[in-house]
Amino acid sequence: MTDNATPTFREQAMGQAQGAMALQVAFIGVTNGLFAALAEKGPATPAELARAAGMDPGYVARWVDAAYAFGYLSETGAEEGDRVALTDAGRGFAGEASSGPLPFAVHSLLGAHMSERTAHFMRTGERPGEAVLGERETIAGLFGTMLEGMFGPVFEDQILPDLPVFREMDASGGTAVDLGCGNGWYLRRLARAYPHLRGIGLDLFDDAIHEATAKAAAEGTGDRLEFRKGDMHDYTVAEPAALIAMNRALHHVWDDKDRVFAFLRDNLADGGTAVIWEPNWPGKRAALADPRRRGMAFQNLMEHVQGNHFLSADAIAAEFERVGMTPEIHLYAEGNEAVVV
């Protein structure tokens, strides 16, 4: 490395660090309702904002400075600095719109947490499992929102219109079961698109079930969707399912794949379909240098802490064939997302 090149790399690192800081400031405002309070209340002093959000005024005053610095707030009012209002960038964090930047703010903090855990456990070889995801309370509460925001648009724009199985289910009025449904975003989008489709979502976390139930009711799909506690090991659905979905969950139970694929085969109705959505891990490391796959490489490192690793579409298809099912591979998002049907 030459002296002339050093400033370039330093400046690049500084720019990346500022991007991370910007998302971290946004996360603080999201998780404590500061953006939402300003969107509802309008321009406010830091003290007024603190009262509206129910937060400590000292912390809010310092957050206002930081949010202003990163372009989320502007000054307004008779006196400069008297009140602040949301800029266009700030308004992007005021709601839960799937097309907005909110999920990336959550992912920024989750990534920082998991990076620290990875650095620690790399020294010992420990892989403590998924409990590490819940070690930060403020992140855990927004986990479903993050997943919905990051993957909901891909589902609606690419997967949903492409797979005929969903239209066939709507015509027959069959039941779709989502294993590990989280906040129910997958079934809720299915139900909005197909008015005759019924769904049951199973998840082990009570908070996720309550959130999914409330969101379905607010969206007008609660009469056709039910969310309850359970998973593959505690399956509480009496009737055979026309469709069983696992969304970015199979790699969490891959060590038990023999049981998983036998379960999928044995719990489907005649003519039923399993729909497995996973990141499509490439066959060669060189593919990971593509900027569109860098996030996958980072996430796979984080998955190692949880005892998991990403899978190739071909590996998933081979397991379906092993239990006597016929797989079809569908690729989306420039080949980075695989749905094996």
pLDDT digits (tens, 9 = 90+) for 291-316: 999 999 999 999 999 999 999 999 99
* Cβ atoms of 254 and 314 closer than 8 Å: no
Same-domain check for residues 98 and 167: no
Query: Does residue 289 share a domain with residue 164?
Result: yes
Q: Among 97-106, 115-124, 166-175, which is the least confidently predicted range? A: 97-106
pLDDT in tens, 186-235: 999 999 999 999 999 999 889 899 999 999 999 999 999 999 999 888 88
| 34 falls within a domain | yes
Is residue 302 within 8 Å of 111, Cβ to Cβ?
A: yes
Residue 64 has pLDDT above 80, yes or no: yes
Mean pLDDT of 139-155: 88
Residue 142 domain-assigned (yes or no): no
Distance of alpha carbon 276 from the chain centroid: 16
Least confident of 137-141, 145-149, 272-276, 303-307: 137-141
- The reported pLDDT for the residue numbered 252 is 93
Cβ distance 99 to 153 under 8 Å? Answer: yes
Asked, for residue 252, whether it belongs to a domain, the answer is yes
Q: What is the CATH number of the domain that holds 309?
A: 3.40.50.150
Are residues 93 and 168 located together in one domain of the fold?
A: no
pLDDT of residue 239: 81
Model confidence at 135, pLDDT cuts 50, 70, 90, reads: confident
- Find the helix or strand (DSSP H, E) in which 72 lies: none
Same domain, 224 and 313: yes
CA atoms within 13 A on the CB side of 173: 1
In a domain, 134, yes or no: no
Same domain, 98 and 153: no
Q: CA–CA separation, 156 vs 133, rounded Å?
A: 27
Verify that 205 and 322 share a domain, yes or no.
yes
Backbone angles phi, psi at 183, to 5 degrees: -85, 15
Same domain for 220 and 152: yes
Tell me if 163 is assigned to some domain: yes
Residue 109: inside a domain: no
Residue 182 sits in the same domain as residue 320: yes
Mean pLDDT value of segment 79-92: 84
116 belongs to a structural domain: no
Does 309 lie in the same domain as 212?
A: yes
**The CATH number of the domain where 22 resides is what?**
1.10.10.10
- The mean predicted confidence, pLDDT, of the chain is 91
Same domain as 154, residue 82: no
Q: Which two structure tokens, joined as six digits, stand for 45?
A: 């002093």
Range(s) of the domain holding residue 228: 148-340
Count of CB atoms within 10 A of residue 231's CB?
Answer: 15
Q: Nearest-CA neighbor of 169 among 185, 154, 190?
A: 190
- Which pLDDT score, from 0 to 100, does residue 198 have? 93
Q: What is the pTM of this model?
A: 0.86
- Do 313 and 185 belong to one domain? yes
Shared domain check, 68 and 157:
no
pLDDT of residue 16: 86
Can you tell me the mean pLDDT for 53-63? 96
Structural domain tally of the chain? 2
**pLDDT, tens only, 247-274:** 999 999 999 999 999 999 999 999 999 9
Which of 102, 117, 138 is where one domain is finished?
A: 102
Phi-psi region of 230 (alpha: psi -120 to 50; beta: other; left: phi over 0): left
- Residue 286: DSSP 8-state: G
Find the helix or strand (DSSP H, E) in which 10 lies.
Answer: helix 6-31
131 in any annotated domain: no
CA angle 169, 170, 171 (to 5 degrees): 90
